[in-house]
Amino acid sequence: MFKCAFLGCGPRARAHARAYQYVQRGTIAAICDLDESRLQSFGEEFSVSARYTDAQEMLDREQPDVLHLVTLPSLRVPLMTLAAKHRVPLAIVEKPIALWGEDWKAIRDLSKDCATKCVVNTQLHFHRRNLELKRDVAEGRIGDVRFIDVSCRSTPLDQGVHVLELAHSYAGFSPIVSVFGQISGTNMLQSRQPSPDMAQATIQFENGIRAALVSGPCAPRATDNEVIYQHKRCAVYGTRGFTHWTMWSWERFTPEGGYECGTHDYGVEDDLAQAALTEACFDWLQDDQCPHPTRLERSLAQFNAILGIYVSGLTHQPVELPFEPPDGLRDAVEEKLGG
């Protein structure tokens, strides 16, 4: 049984913790938060008695196998550095992995010499229907993939990273080699996840597959629900058919099965997906030959594409990837979009 600890006890951490009702090989052994009331509430809800307000103390005393880092994204660098310093075997880091070029480069450099295995919490990868449709694509049931269409009505940083991971996974994690994008809107630049309000981009993968990403209020609706988080979707078009996943429904056409469709409950599926992401961490801890699908290496490549979209939106030129993002990108975006 793997010993797991939580650093951060806010609403998103509760989604991580709910999944432990389905986790078979791990238990929540300790939790930490600077907010005493939030810490105690979380501990009572999930029956965790070891409660800390000091992260170093928790790591020194508890020595967890897995650490859930579920904090503000502005704290990624110091807390991932702390986990590495304490040689935590594996850390599950909430998305987005970074905010701008400066912290992206710091995390990239940290990862080069870090013994801690890091996984980014893009749990949509593990939704059961997504896994099924990805198998269909990988096995050629829709023929050769020609185009991937992903969208969400929240920001590039909030939900765009989720659907970009889906596009990357449906493309077989082929390296992303270029982006050509547009960005708009400054309302969210002052938020806890600062980014342009909207982004649109064409994405080229090394294997020849192309993708389109649309993020923000300009994106298509996937449901009648007005909540912006409810509209994540991914469609894959091949030479013989297609697949289409949304948070609440799915479609598929193959020559063998014809047209099929159905619905699912996102809340139920998301808890199961979170559990599957956690279990896959245990697989990696037990066997280095079973690397995690949403490991840091891949997330850094995906976020490099997000930063490339920002730069492309500023320069009106395609950006070849991987690239070294410039410092001061946030200010450049604000100046360009707010002028």
Q: DSSP per residue over 105-132, as a string?
A: HHHHHHHHT--SEEEE--GGGG-HHHHH
The predicted-structure confidence for 142-175, as pLDDT tens digits, reads as follows: 999 999 999 999 999 999 999 999 999 999 999 9
The CATH 3.40.50.720 portion of the chain extends over 2-123+272-294
The CATH 3.30.360.10 portion of the chain extends over 125-264+302-320
Amino acid 339: pLDDT:
63
Q: Over pLDDT 90: what percentage of the chain?
A: 97
The predicted-structure confidence for 282-313, as pLDDT tens digits, reads as follows: 999 999 999 999 999 999 999 999 999 999 99
Q: How far is Cα 48 from Cα 62, in angstroms, rounded to an integer?
A: 13
Q: How far is CA 164 from the centre of its chain?
A: 8
Beta partners for 29? Answer: none
Q: What value does the mean pLDDT take over residues 133-144?
A: 98
The predicted model scores a pTM of: 0.97
Q: How far is Cα 79 from Cα 100, in angstroms, rounded to an integer?
A: 17
Is CATH 1.10.1740.10 correct for 125-264+302-320?
A: no
Q: What value does the mean pLDDT take over residues 124-132?
A: 98
- Position 86 confidence tier, pLDDT thresholds 50, 70, 90: very high
Residue 236 has which token pair?
Answer: 């894959």
Name every residue whose Cβ is closer than 8 Å to that of residue 306 and which is 6 or more positions away in sequence: 96, 156, 157, 160, 161, 164, 199
Is pLDDT of 80 > 90? Answer: yes
Q: How far is Cα 164 from Cα 160, in angstroms, rounded to an integer?
A: 6
Q: Over pLDDT 70: what percentage of the chain?
A: 100
Amino acid 68: pLDDT:
98
188 DSSP assignment? G
The predicted-structure confidence for 48-73, as pLDDT tens digits, reads as follows: 999 999 999 999 999 999 999 999 99
For residue 150, count CB atoms less than 10 angstroms from its CB and return exposed for 0-12, middle for 13-18, buried for 19 or more: buried
Q: How far is CA 188 from the centre of its chain?
A: 19
Amino acid 235: pLDDT:
98
Tell me if residue 141 falls in helix, strand or coil: coil
Query: 149 near 235, Cβ under 8 Å?
Result: yes
Amino acid 326: pLDDT:
97
C-alpha separations of 264 from 55, 276, 277 in Å: 38, 17, 19
Beta partners for 32? Answer: 7, 52
Work out the angle at residue 329's Cα, subtended by the Cα atoms of residues 325 and 332, and round it to the nearest 5 degrees.
Answer: 140
**Mean pLDDT over each residue of the chain, to the nearest integer:** 97
Q: How far is Cα 244 from Cα 29, in angstroms, rounded to an integer?
A: 39
Is pLDDT of 225 > 90? Answer: no
Q: What value does the mean pLDDT take over residues 94-105?
A: 98
Query: 2-123+272-294 — its CATH code?
Result: 3.40.50.720
